[in-house]
Amino acid sequence: MSVAVLKQQSTLADYGFRNLYDTPIRLSPTQQARNVERYMQQRRKENAGIEDIAAPAKDIARHKVLYDSEDLEEHDTAAEIIRDEIARSGLESQFPDYLDESINHYNLPALRDYYSRQSTLPEHMWDLTTEGEHFDKEGNILPGAIPPVNAVKVVDYNPDMSKLEGYGLVPNIGSKGNINYENHMARTGNPVFPMNQGAGFVAPPYGMDIENTVAANVIGGSEQQAFDALDSNAATKLVGIRGFGVPQDKAFARPAATEGREGIYTNPIPPERLVGVFRDEKTEYEDFPEFEEGATGYGQVRDKLPGAWSKGRFGFDNPALTREEKQRIATNILDRLRPSHQRDANITSTLYPAETFGFGGESND
């Protein structure tokens, strides 16, 4: 049997040169960021004390709103805790850039979301939209689609909030002003919104509806209509919402009563669907149509679901609501109607809007 003998090849090390393959390889920014995230996931499990104060940036921002007046110290603190944790890890080679004082850590991938976020083009261009269909048969926004702005909200603007990952419009939970307003609506026999899970009020994008909206959530706006508040306070902004009424919003709508037609969202609306945050583009009555095309006066539309919301899924006509959620919502409304003996109030206007306003919709048991 023959045997093949292979001669070992010489290397530079055989001649006294350093083996270049022994040189430590510096990890890429992506690898280092992944290592930081993995290490912090482990530390959050080991130390419950840092689970909240060093939470991911998007989780910290989840309870913050565009008009939140609080400072942003919570984000800065989380980033500094992360740097302290990895400095004590003994794994310096896994994330050297994060421990290098000559590198601006504000720009490092695993930390930059605590200080800034990358905005999207639709957040800057009010009239930008895509052609064709925007929603599937359940009312969800189709992938890649950019629906038009179909709702607006007047807010007190915090210029730093829009820079953060995860900011958006968050329902106002436990607002005494909102609860008192809805109790008044119940006493006067008007359609009532549920208040058991928080709410954020919006108007459809028509001049008459916005004009009749009281800007109660902005400083000094409780006695002002929306356009007056925008004109008198430079820090007040009109923010547009794309695709208001998608199932995820868990939204409700009602006809004009004490104000214009209005709706509420009871789930947060993410920044990607907001416009008007970065620059004022629409601030005047003339920037909007008065009401739906084809109507000769506001009286023709004030009791109808706004045309801009015709693709939305409101009230119980929403596949995202469970039976248990529907039960809690109905109970919350009825409990407020009972003390004032207003059981004849038109509860179906907010629970079954698709049918009530003549837009079809499935029946609900």
Which pLDDT score is estimated for 49?
Answer: 77
Which pLDDT score is estimated for 337?
Answer: 73
Structure tokens at 107: 């720009």
Which pLDDT score is estimated for 229?
Answer: 84
The runs of H, that is alpha helices, within the chain are: 29-46, 49-53, 57-61, 73-87, 176-187, 207-211, 226-232, 323-337, 348-351, 353-356
Which pLDDT score is estimated for 56?
Answer: 82
Structure tokens at 346: 């038109």
Question: Rounded CA gap, 156 and 246, in Å?
Answer: 25
Reported in sequence order, the residue ranges of 76-222 that DSSP labels E, i.e. its strands, are 149-156, 200-202
Q: Within 10 Å of residue 89's Cβ, how many Cβ atoms?
A: 17
Which pLDDT score is estimated for 358?
Answer: 42
Is pTM beyond 0.85 here? no
Q: What angle do CA 146, 147, 148 make, to 5 degrees?
A: 120
pLDDT single digits (tens) 79-106: 889 999 999 899 989 999 999 989 988 8
- 3-state SS class at 299: helix
- CA quadruple 119, 124, 129, 130: dihedral sign: negative
Give the HSE-up count for residue 124: Cα atoms under 13 Å, Cβ half-sphere: 4
Which pLDDT score is estimated for 359?
Answer: 37
- Low-confidence residues of the chain, pLDDT below 50? 1, 3-7, 12, 15, 17, 19, 69, 341, 344-345, 354, 357-365
The answer to whether the CB of 230 falls within 8 A of the CB of 218 is: no
- The torsion angles phi and psi of 363, rounded to 5 degrees, stand at -75, 155
Which pLDDT score is estimated for 362?
Answer: 39
